[in-house]
Structure 1
Amino acid sequence: MNAPKVSVVVPVFNAETHLDRLVESLLRQSLPAGDFEAVFVDDGSTDGTAARLDALAATHPHLHVLHIPNSGWPSRPRNLGMAQARGEYVFFADDDDWFADEALERLYGYARANDADIAVGKMAGHGRNVARELFRTDQPDATLENTPLIDSLTCHKLFRSGFLAEHDLRFPEGGRRRLEDHAFVTRAYLLSKRTSVLAHYTCYHHVRRRDGGGVTATRLVPADYFARLRETLDIVDAHVGPGPLRDRLHRRWLRNEMVNRLRGKRLLDAPSEWLDQVAAEVRAIIRDRFAPGVAAGLPPLPRIVAELAGQGRVADLRRLAEWEVGVRARARLRGYDLTGSTLTVSVAAHLRSGRDPIVDAGRDGRDRLVLPVDGLDPELLDVTGALAQARLDLVARRQETGDEVALPVAVEARRVTDTAGATHVVHRGSVAVDFAALNSGRTEGAWTLRARIQHSGWTQDARLPLRVFCPADGAAPQVTDQRPDEEPGRWVRVRAAVRRLLRPATGRPGSTDR
């Protein structure tokens, strides 16, 4: 029997109630059943999972099951599944996620065409964050230097089996070992001769279960978690010398696994004793492991959080988090035009905390964050340069599948003073979307539109009132304007001033000035 092109390895534990979607997606794959296999590794399930998997394997010859005593973590099942896999390439999936119909065929073809050791397919997140910037465009030869590869450290990727064997790449085992995928994927990136990013097709749907289940869903133990993080930093340091690249790679963990745990709702939801432990661990790593350039390269707000953590100012971190949960993006549709399959949207958006601006425009021409924390270096609060780097995207999301496409808006920033004397920085611009080509022409269904602002360390979305429906792939869209007859009263304090700036262009279908 010929070896399959792809082996999908799936660690499974008590998945009886949520396994269907993954299985159904595997059975729908455009890659013929004879060209791929799935290896389910049952990690000592205690429900009906084992019997369900055995029944599937009996019916579908390309689905295999391995039963093992419970290990308590995905690492050992993945390693055993990898050892049993016969495919030219291996993909690691989770039992509560699913594949798009053409995912395996497209990923395999892309990997072979580019002679890639690793192929990273675009992911859609359902209740959880996934990398976004990485998937703006296809990258046949992506590196840690030329793309934000380091933002995608889950193991849900295609790996060449010979590459894994050559470097003895395995997931670290030993109990409930956090960040096992970070250690595996980081080392793989650093050893790969070619990594290819497929961004034009959403391959994998990554899910946060509503019941909060999954063996990795429990609250982390700070000392153990950050010990594992240090081990991953060791992998980076063993391959990358001191300098800008190492700083940029280290910054990924400072931002995602450290600073983001000390911000907003995540901090406020944490027990005080646990938070104190996390803050102490973060402070120690900043002091012991990071060069000055690591924190210095963060956007303004995360850099301030890192500074407070480094100084052990936990009370100020809590005060800042209480303020930050009120920061929201506000967006206004200035107008739109539909010509054939092309929808042109003009939008304006800004960030604010409640009704207050987050930035103060000083008389000296410098813009500074307005934060409820004293004793900060004025240079940390200065966001004059950051405002020039702010981004505004129009994000189209397909409701049926979760496919998401971000389209950059040519943006200009203006300062508007409201009737109360507060100054808001408003970002405005327009973008044309060809729905015949959007998402590589896979447009059938309903689409929602959002404005996404990236500014000074925030990434915030605001829904726009347009809804788009495409009756078939590539068909001309139908647009519905869902704005109410009267504008909600939440804009009362800034409406008069902002309306002057956001006045839509006249003479375009759908343009209003409410």
Structure 2
Amino acid sequence: MTGEVKVSVVVPTYNSGGHLQQLIDSLLRQSMPATDFEIIFADDGSTDDTPARLAALAAAHPNVEVLRCPHSGWPSRPRNLALARARGEYVQFVDDDDWLAEEALERLYGYAVTNGADIAIGKMTGHGRSVPRDLFRVNRPDARLANSPLIGSLTCHKMFRRAFLLEHDLRFPDEHRKRLEDHHFVIRAYLLSRRTSVLSDYTCYHHARRPDGGNLTATRMEPAGYYGSLREVLDIVDAHTEPGPLRDKLHRRWLRTEMIRRLRGNRLRNAPRDWVDQVAAEVRKTIQERFAPTVAGQLPAVERTVVGLVTEGRVEDLLRLAEWDAGIRARTRLKAYELTGSTLTVLLNSQLRSGEEPLTIRQVDGRDRLVLPVEVPDEWVDCTEDLGRARLDVVAQHATGHEEFFLPVHFEVDREAGAADEFQVRYRGAVTVDFAGLNGGRTQGGWILKARVTGYGWSLDTKLPLEITCPADGARPVVVDKRKKKAPAAPPQPGPGRLRRMAGSVRRQLGLART
């Protein structure tokens, strides 16, 4: 190909073999004409049949180019080499085990151009990997770090204006095996971007974990190097921000995701003890040297407790807390449902539970205290403010494609009195979804409904016992209640629209009807 193209797709590879095929198929199916985009595979010294596969692909398709480089052991150098060869107005980074939806390049490029974006982020869905769900609740033509959950998305699987990358000499750190290389690149890009746009009404990017665990960076991290690299990322943040709420918000992302989550639940209890001690030491060093007290001060109670324990070097108590934390579950009860035409109405109750018992809160001197299995200062477990931040979501997920959509939910969070001065928290909600319009009418296949219960430092999913199938796009769904051995397509509940009226009544009872 000659001349400038709209999009350059950059893919680093290493011993990818047959795992590449799903990505290749998705690129060849793109709705954007092949003359409008190029695909640059940068192979990091593969020793299997990957080079031969790529050579055959390039021979058959003029918009495919293959670069070969000596093995570096990490995706940074291949990405930089491909970026130097790219000619597109925009550059889209894709990993070799992921794939794109058929209209991804066309839609995301059009969205970027319409909004004049330096960075355009297409909605992601995960296959064995987590993705930043909250970022994709709505389209965000002008997403900013200060007023959106943008900091939750730090992988490089985005579309960047190439002139913007050149203007600021944005490259991946080119050292061998540099951990958090995405974070180095993306946070600097966010802080320099004049406009960042998030496309949420079409799932563009499928983020996958290889069944053989062979992703390029899928090895247990070495704590000293990992957290050394993280502190370099914090240096980038500090160089572009002043002390205050924005810096605290950004710092809090790394505190929660790269530190606290590694010291909670199964991630901690299943890790080797010597590795746990190393992680705890690195986390303690980072918290003490880099974070203002206000960073941890805004966390929910259980996360503040983890920070307190690791800062005081109480690793045994961290392990005891992790053992208990691993048993926290969300439980949701389907109270009623009704299908009217293509519209499904659901009423549900949810609760966070510790084993078989509800999560317990205790009132002490007019303040709420989270009851934990370790002795800690009252201020660590003060959760008085957490009740107001609790929420209930319902997500519709396609059973095979895994595309997810937040549904409009009206909910309230109630206290339920327990023994003496204790209480539990119950979530009560109502959701109505018209399957004819879900996902722009692309509804054929099976669907799963999941309640997502958020509060007190947890955000947990639980499936609703409904099996939903749309025989064709936009068709009336067939709903089967899995609690019953045999269930008709439509639940046997008297009176058309009865539950929709009940849901309306619930919304009125909830007053302001939070969604």
TM-score (ref. length: structure 1)? 0.92
1:363 Cα deviation after fit: 7.3
State whether structure 2 residue 179 is matched by structure 1 residue 175: no
1:51 Cα deviation after fit: 0.4
SS at match of 2:26: helix
1:268 Cα deviation after fit: 1.0
Moved more, 412-421 or 107-116: 412-421
How many angstroms apart in 2 are the aligned matches of 1:382 and 1:357? Answer: 18
How many angstroms apart in 2 are the aligned matches of 1:429 and 1:217? Answer: 39
How many angstroms apart in 2 are the aligned matches of 1:441 and 1:364? Answer: 53
AA of the residue aligned to 1:437? G
SS at match of 1:384: coil
Q: 1:370 to 1:96 in 2, by over 3 A?
A: same
Match of 2:398 in 1: 398
Match of 2:105 in 1: 104
How many angstroms apart in 1 are the aligned matches of 2:85 and 2:418? Answer: 66
AA of the residue aligned to 2:467? R
Q: Which runs of 5+ in 1 are unaligned?
A: 487-504
AA of the residue aligned to 1:119? A
AA of the residue aligned to 1:463? K
How many angstroms apart in 1 are the aligned matches of 2:346 and 2:362? Answer: 29
State whether structure 2 residue 384 is matched by structure 1 residue 384: yes
1:164 Cα deviation after fit: 0.4
AA of the residue aligned to 1:88? E
Match of 1:409 in 2: 409
State whether structure 2 residue 161 is matched by structure 1 residue 191: no
How many angstroms apart in 2 are the aligned matches of 1:241 and 1:61? Answer: 48
For 1:432-451, what aligned pairs fall within 5 Å after superposition? 432-451=432-451
Match of 1:484 in 2: 484
Q: 1:419 to 1:278 in 2, by over 3 A?
A: closer
Match of 1:216 in 2: 217
How many angstroms apart in 1 are the aligned matches of 2:427 and 2:170? Answer: 46
- Conservation of the 8 A alpha-carbon contact between 1:222 and 1:281: yes
AA of the residue aligned to 1:402? H
Match of 1:493 in 2: none
How many angstroms apart in 2 are the aligned matches of 1:366 and 1:484? Answer: 43
For 1:110-259, what aligned pairs fall within 5 Å after superposition? 110-259=111-260
How many angstroms apart in 1 are the aligned matches of 2:495 and 2:341? Answer: 17
How many angstroms apart in 2 are the aligned matches of 1:422 and 1:507? Answer: 41
How many angstroms apart in 1 are the aligned matches of 2:327 and 2:134? Answer: 25
1:378 Cα deviation after fit: 1.1
Moved more, 426-435 or 183-192: 426-435
CA shift digits 1:155-178 (9 cap, x unpaired): 000000000000000000111100
- Conservation of the 8 A alpha-carbon contact between 1:336 and 1:510: no
Match of 2:462 in 1: 462
SS at match of 1:385: coil
SS at match of 2:97: coil
1:466 Cα deviation after fit: 1.0
Match of 1:267 in 2: 268
1:433 Cα deviation after fit: 0.9
SS at match of 1:168: coil
State whether structure 2 residue 278 is matched by structure 1 residue 277: yes
State whether structure 2 residue 12 is matched by structure 1 residue 24: no
How many angstroms apart in 1 are the aligned matches of 2:238 and 2:86? Answer: 31
1:212 Cα deviation after fit: 1.2
How many angstroms apart in 2 are the aligned matches of 1:227 and 1:202? Answer: 34
AA of the residue aligned to 1:49? T
How many angstroms apart in 2 are the aligned matches of 1:443 and 1:478? Answer: 12
AA of the residue aligned to 1:154? T
Q: 1:480 to 1:316 in 2, by over 3 A?
A: same
Moved more, 304-313 or 163-172: 304-313
AA of the residue aligned to 2:453? I
Q: 1:58 to 1:187 in 2, by over 3 A?
A: same
Moved more, 331-340 or 416-425: 416-425
Moved more, 305-314 or 101-110: 305-314
- Conservation of the 8 A alpha-carbon contact between 2:8 and 2:86: yes
How many angstroms apart in 2 are the aligned matches of 1:74 and 1:363? Answer: 52
- Conservation of the 8 A alpha-carbon contact between 1:6 and 1:37: yes
Match of 2:489 in 1: none
How many angstroms apart in 1 are the aligned matches of 2:51 and 2:485? Answer: 56
How many angstroms apart in 2 are the aligned matches of 1:11 and 1:348? Answer: 46
**Alignment size in residue pairs:** 492
1:385 Cα deviation after fit: 2.2
1:475 Cα deviation after fit: 2.1
How many angstroms apart in 2 are the aligned matches of 1:2 and 1:444? Answer: 40
1:412 Cα deviation after fit: 1.6
1:438 Cα deviation after fit: 1.5
SS at match of 1:219: coil
Match of 1:336 in 2: 337
SS at match of 1:188: helix
1:482 Cα deviation after fit: 1.1
1:205 Cα deviation after fit: 0.5
C-alpha root-mean-square deviation of aligned residues, in Å? Answer: 1.9
Match of 1:354 in 2: 355
How many angstroms apart in 2 are the aligned matches of 1:289 and 1:66? Answer: 40
How many angstroms apart in 1 are the aligned matches of 2:283 and 2:178? Answer: 19
1:17 Cα deviation after fit: 2.5
Q: 1:453 to 1:285 in 2, by over 3 A?
A: same
Q: 1:363 to 1:161 in 2, by over 3 A?
A: closer
Match of 2:475 in 1: 475
- Conservation of the 8 A alpha-carbon contact between 2:351 and 2:358: no
How many angstroms apart in 1 are the aligned matches of 2:68 and 2:420? Answer: 67
Q: 1:161 to 1:307 in 2, by over 3 A?
A: same
- Conservation of the 8 A alpha-carbon contact between 2:369 and 2:381: yes
1:193 Cα deviation after fit: 0.5
1:361 Cα deviation after fit: 4.1
Q: 1:363 to 1:145 in 2, by over 3 A?
A: closer
